[in-house]
Structures are given as structure tokens and as C-alpha cells.
Structure 1
Amino acid sequence: MSRYSLTTRVATRDDAPVLASLWTDSVRRADPSEQVADIEQIVKNGAASVEQRVMVVEYDGQVAGAVLLRILTLSPLNLEPCVHAFYPRVFVDFRRHGVGHALMEAAASYAEENGILHVATAIPYGSREANRFMARLGLAPVATYRVAPTGVLRSRLVPQRGKTALDGRSKVLAARRSLRRARAERLATEE
């Protein structure tokens, strides 16, 4: 059995088409050329900043996986610095060959280089395999990140027509309950 080599390196702009196909479900919905341009911009920003880096793992010379690393705070309320490993992904053909470990090793190394004590990751909620992999590496769930289109959220926040009758009915029922409670309390004190 021959042994293939894994190589971890910083992504270049030439990697953008492959990375756009790897992260196809995570990038904005647009024309493929625009998605590639977005990835090129992300890679360019990473090359110009010490706070962001896109890492690629090659398996026998082919891009097998990638991760976007960013130095941010642990949360908007907890200002402790943290390396966020966004969208660590491995192409299906290269799974179970150590590529995921290499990506998370790159995240740990990046944190150590910058003197940062925590690494966080963002992976799809519904990906059982990815969640189990991260749990085996010691990453615990901290929060659930939910997203909705603004229009959908707005439609759920604004009372819809036809519900006003129900709202009025529920107010009447609440008032009746309060009256019953007050009457029961009055009777209890009279005894």
C-alpha cells in the first residue's frame, strides 16, 4: 500500500475556483464567476492581514480541503481573543485520510503562533459526521447560530391580519382568569 503525503499551505488566488466548489453551500448565491471572485478577495485579504488566513491541505498534490482562519474575540461580549476556524471542509473523495485533522492542526498552530488560548469552529448544524469529528477533537458546542432572511423574520414579527380576533379573545380570557383568581382569593380571606 502506497502512502500519500499531506501538505498544508496558505491558499493562493489560483486556489479560488477549487475553494469556491468546496464551499459552494457556504458562499453567497451568485454566478460561479462571482463566487470565485469572492474567494479571491478573501484569499487576498488573508495575505494582507495577520488576523486572517485561508489554509489548504493537499493530498498527493490535489487540494483536498480548506479552512478560513480568523482572529476574533470569543464572542461580541467576551473580548478574549480566539481563532475561529470557519467552514473546515474536506472533499468527499478525501475524507478519512487525515485531511480534517490537518485542517484543525493548522488552526491550532495559527492560535499558538499568535498566543491565543482558544479555537472555535463553525460547521453545518445538520452535519452529524462533522459535529462528531469536532467533538472527538475536544470542541464543545457553545451556541446555536441561526439565520433567516430579513423578510421572513419581519413577517413572523409583525402581527398578521386575522390574528387580531385571536389576540382580543386571548385578552378577554386572561381578564376572566384574573377575575376568577381575585374572587377565589377574596373568598379564601373571608373564611
Structure 2
Amino acid sequence: MTRSQVSLRPAAVADALFLAELWADSLRRTDLQEQVADLEVVIKSAADSPEQRLLVAEHDGEPAGAVYLRVATVSPINLEPVVQALSPHVLPAYRRRGIGRTLMESAVAYAEELGVAHVMTAADSGSRDANRFMARLALAPQATVRVAATALVRSKIEAQRPGTGRGLTSRQRGQVLAARRSLRRKESQAEA
């Protein structure tokens, strides 16, 4: 029995459609044509930069997964260098064939090549399999990243602002509810 081959290669502009389908949940919400155009820019940028790599994993010659690697810092305030393995994804039909491991191995090799002591990645918080896979590779959680629409965050901030009547403390809320119950009782007694 022959073993299937997994190989990595740099992404080419022709891979943009494949990457748009693979990373559909990670891309900006727009039509497929604009996502493909975005990815063409990303592919060209990665090809021109010594600090970025966009790799496509192939299984028996067919595109099966991809990862975007870049050298950065842990955060803007923690300047420790790190290789970020962004969006290491494998098509569902190709999972459990060593492709994810190969993608993460490429991140480790890139870090070693550059003398970078840490590798960082992220997995969807709702993906139990992806998080377990990353944990088996010794990647521990460091932060929880939260995202929301700007307008939604603004509305929540405004609702919690003191003095607006909407962001009441629990004591104030209790007083308002007690006053409302009292008014209702008085109204129901007056009607009876």
C-alpha cells in the first residue's frame, strides 16, 4: 500500500479561488469576487516579503489546505518576536491525513530558520477538534480575542453609561421595578 504524499508549496495567484473557499469563514463579508481579489493582493504581498509566507498543502497533487505565516511580535506592547501561523485550515475531505501537522510543522521550520523562539496560532473558539489539535502540539491558550461590530459595541457602551437611565445599578434597577409594581397595584385597585 502506498502512502499518500503531502507537499507544501508557495501560494500562486491562481490559488486565490481555492483559498477563498478554504478560508470563507475568515474573510471579510463580501462577494466571492472581492474575496478572491483580496487574496490575490495577500498572495502577492507574501511572495514579495521575507517576513511572510503563504503556503498551500497538496495531498496527492490536489490542494487540501493552507496556512499564512508571518513574523510579528506577540502584541504591540510585548515585542517578543513570534511566527504567527494564521488560518491553518484543511478541507474537511482531507482531514486526519497529516496535513494540519504538516502546516504547523512549516510554521516551526520557519521560526527555526529565522531564529524566532515562539510560534503562535489561533483556532475558532467553537472548534473543539481544532483546539484539541493545537493543544496536542503544546500550543497553550494565551488570550481570548473578541470581535463585534463597532455600532453594536457603541450601543452597549451607551446603555451602560451611568445617568442615562438604561445603565442602572442593581439597586437602582430594584427601586425602579418596585415603583412600577406599586403603580400597577394602584392602577388595578383603582379599576376594581
Q: Same fold (TM over 0.5)?
A: yes
1:160 to 1:145, Cα distance in 2 relative to 1, 3 A: closer
* 1:56 to partner: Cα distance: 1.0
In structure 2, relative to structure 1, the CA distance for the partners of 1:171 and 1:70 (3 Å cut) is same
Task: Note closer, same or farther for the CA distance 1:164–1:70 as it changes in structure 2 (3 Å cut).
Answer: same
1:41 maps to 41
Structure 1-normalised TM-score?
A: 0.84
2:180 aligned partner = none
Q: CA deviation at 1:10?
A: 1.1
Deviation at 1:170, TM superposition (A): 3.8
State the percentage of identical aligned residues: 52
Q: Aligned partners of 1:68, 1:165: CA distance in 2, in Å? A: 44
CA positional deviation for 1:30: 0.8
- Structure 2 spans left out of the alignment, 5+ residues: 175-192
In structure 2, distance between residues paired with 1:113 and 1:172 = 59
Q: Which residue of 2 aligns with 1:182?
A: none
Structure 1, gaps ≥5 residues long: 174-191
Question: Structure 1 residues 106, 172: closer, same or farther in 2, change over 3 A?
Answer: closer
2:115 aligned partner: 115
Displacement, 1:169? 8.5
Contact 1:19 / 1:39 at 8 angstroms: preserved in 2?
yes
TM-score by length of 2: 0.84
Matches within 5 A, 1:125-144: 125-144=125-144
Distance 1:116 1:167, change over 3 A: same
* CA gap 1:2/1:45 in 2 versus in 1, 3 angstroms: same
Q: 1:171 to 1:132 in 2, by over 3 A?
A: same
Partners of 1:137 and 1:172 in 2: CA distance? 48
Q: How many residues align?
A: 173
Q: Secondary structure of 2:96's partner?
A: coil
Letter in 1 for 2:42: I
SS at match of 2:46: helix
> Aligned-pair RMSD on alpha carbons?
2.2
Does the Cα contact within 8 Å between 2:82 and 2:119 map onto a contact in 1? yes
Deviations 1:89-123 (A, max 9, x none): 00000000000010001101111111100000022
Partner of 1:164 in structure 2?
165
